[in-house]
Every structure is written in structure tokens, then in C-alpha cells.
Amino acid sequence: DSGVTQTPKHLITATGQRVTLRCSPRSGDLSVYWYQQSLDQGLQFLIQYYNGEERAKGNILERFSAQQFPDLHSELNLSSLELGDSALYFCASSPLTSTDTQYFGPGTRLTVL
Amino acid sequence: QKEVEQDPGPLSVPEGAIVSLNCTYSNSAFQYFMWYRQYSRKGPELLMYTYSSGNKEDGRFTAQVDKSSKYISLFIRDSQPSDSATYLCAMSAWGQNFVFGPGTRLSVLP
């Protein structure tokens, strides 16, 4: 158990809908990262937050947004969902910077029908 | 050319074999390297974290970094069926986020 929790484990929704994925980092970790993993793309970095502020952006679509709250948990919002958004979404956390060891949560499996 | 490359496999070996998993990269600024193991549909689990060149050993696992060749390796000794998983390498430069390889699927046959 990495200490990173993610909810829900599974999410099934329809195209055009909006969903929110939640992540709680390991105790004491200030950085949260979001990744998307689909069958043909591997792990794609989406966005990083550090102590409530956006630190880095990767291949995140404009339909996607995230935030980190004062208690350090983070939410990833996905809107106007498309079939191609079906994937595993992972959250990872690290103590401080982007070069720290990252610990991954169990992931949320999103299926868009 | 992708920034980080891995042989996707699948790689099948008999139980007890020594396994060598490899990644090559193009960015000479990379100096932080990680290896993850990911079981099917689970979150990646950190195996090894190394900084700069050299070797690091942890139990049956050894990580090697050769920055001059832009090549990193993970060796698994006495491989077990429970080692069957996808192995991901990841690397970064200072102040940059990690870039992950596509992963190598390993099957250890009893």
C-alpha cells in the first residue's frame, strides 16, 4: 500500500458527461501528480500541483482541469467526455519537488460509453 | 525519436532466470531514474530510485545507469512467477517532471 488513495475505483459514464476523480496524497506529501494511462499510450503526465498551486502541465486537454485543496487532496475534473477518454487515471504524490520519488495510488478506471 | 524507449515485450523467461530490462533515452540532462512494477490494472509500485550513474542493489533487484550511453537497466535475479508484471522506467532532469517509458511486459513461467 503506497499510502495514496483514489476514489472512485471505477466510473462508467456517457459521452458528454462530466466526472470528478479524487486523490488523497501520502501523509506529508505536498506534490500531487495526475497521469492518464490508456492501452496504446502508456503513462501520460497530465498536471502537477504543489502545496495548492499548479506547478507543471503536461498533455492535459482543455476539457480537463484539476485543483489541490488546502488539506492537500486533489480533484481531477473531466468534462464533455469522449469515448477516447476511457482510461486509467492515476494520482501520485511526492514530498516536495518533481524529482522526488513518486508514489502512485491504485487508480480510477474510467469507462465512457 | 521518443524521449524514452523500452522494448515492449512481452518477455517470457523460466522461473529462476536472470532478467534484464532496459531503457534508452535521448535527453542527456536526465539524472534521476526510477523503475516501477505494475501489475495488471493496478497502480505502479516503486522498485528503485537512483541518481546519476552507477549501480544500486535491493534484494533481487539491481538498477544500473550508464549516462554516457544514455542507457539504464534493471536486473532481476532468481525471477519468480510473482515478478510477472509490466516494468516501467522513468527519468527526469532537475526541476523537470518524470518521463515514463512505455513499459516492458514480463512473464516468468513456473
Residue A98 has what pLDDT? 67
Question: What are B50-87's pLDDT values in tens digits?
Answer: 988 889 999 999 999 999 999 999 999 999 999 999 99
Contact A106 B95 (CB under 8 A): no
Q: Which three cell numbers stand for residue A49?
A: 500541483
Taking alpha carbons only, the member of B106, B63, B77 closest to residue B18 is B77
In order along chain A (113 residues), what is the average pLDDT of each group of 10 residues? Answer: 94 97 96 90 90 92 96 97 96 84 94 97
Q: Who's near B78: CB < 8 A, 6+ residues apart?
A: B16, B18, B60
Substitution target in A6, A40, A43 with the highest count of B β-carbons within 10 Å is A43
B101 contact A CB<8A: yes
**Within the 58-87 window of chain B, which residues sit less than 8 Å (CB to CB) from chain A?**
none
Substitution target in B98, B99, B100, B104 with the highest count of A β-carbons within 10 Å is B98
State the SS3 of B80-102: CHHHCEEEEEEEECCCCCCEECC
Contact B94 A99 (CB under 8 A): yes
Report the residue count for chain B: 110
Positive or negative, the Cα torsion across B41, B44, B47, B53? positive
